């Protein structure tokens, strides 16, 4: 599948992160819909597929943040622009990075599932 990585928001980091996530997403979808094993997890149930699929977006938040902080300081995207969700008053209601790390750990602890990117 061809995806556009030109002229997108946060282009330099997304070129690094999106490709990794899209590869896992395509692999996960192909395995589930064709009834094939996914990596070392075997054939997935609908529940496992849904939980792993949902986890991809959280893995994305972690990878994006980790790639951003690797950049020279002058090229880093301010965390306020991508890491937090704000309410109408501008108050942070969610730290996506922390939430993602917790969800990843929870899936590992409850299902024994861990995806290496």
Boundaries of every domain in the chain: 11-111
pLDDT of residue 10: 86
62 against 6, higher pLDDT: 62
Residue 115: band (very low, low, confident or very high) from pLDDT cuts 50, 70, 90: low
Nearest-angstrom CA–CA distance, 107 and 113 = 6
Taking the C-alpha atoms of residue 65 and residue 108, their distance in angstroms, rounded to an integer, is 20
CA distances from 60 to 63, 65, 115 (A): 5, 8, 12
pLDDT tens readout for residues 35-44:
988 888 888 8
- Closest C-alpha to 39, from 28, 29, 50: 28
Facing residues of 37 across strands?
A: 43
pLDDT given for residue 40 in this prediction:
81
Q: Rounded to whole angstroms, how far apart are CA atoms 18 and 21? A: 5
- Determine the pLDDT at residue 116: 66
The per-residue pLDDT for 111 is 73
pLDDT at 105 over 90: no
The residue-averaged pLDDT of 84-101 equals 95
pTM: 0.79
pLDDT band at 73 (very low <50, low <70, confident <90, very high): very high
The more confident residue out of 116 and 32 is: 32
């Amino acid at each position: 599948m061809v995806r556009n990585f030109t002229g997108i928001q946060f282009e330099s980091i997304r070129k690094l992160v999106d490709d990794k996530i899209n590869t896992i997403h395509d692999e996960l979808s192909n395995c589930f819909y064709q009834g094939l094993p996914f990596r070392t997890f075997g054939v997935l149930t609908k529940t496992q597929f849904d939980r792993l699929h949902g986890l991809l977006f959280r893995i994305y938040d972690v990878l994006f943040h980790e790639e951003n902080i690797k950049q020279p300081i002058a090229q880093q995207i301010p965390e306020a622009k991508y890491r937090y969700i704000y309410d109408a008053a501008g108050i942070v209601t969610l730290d996506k990075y922390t939430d993602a790390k917790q969800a990843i750990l929870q899936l590992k602890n409850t299902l024994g599932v861990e995806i290496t990117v």
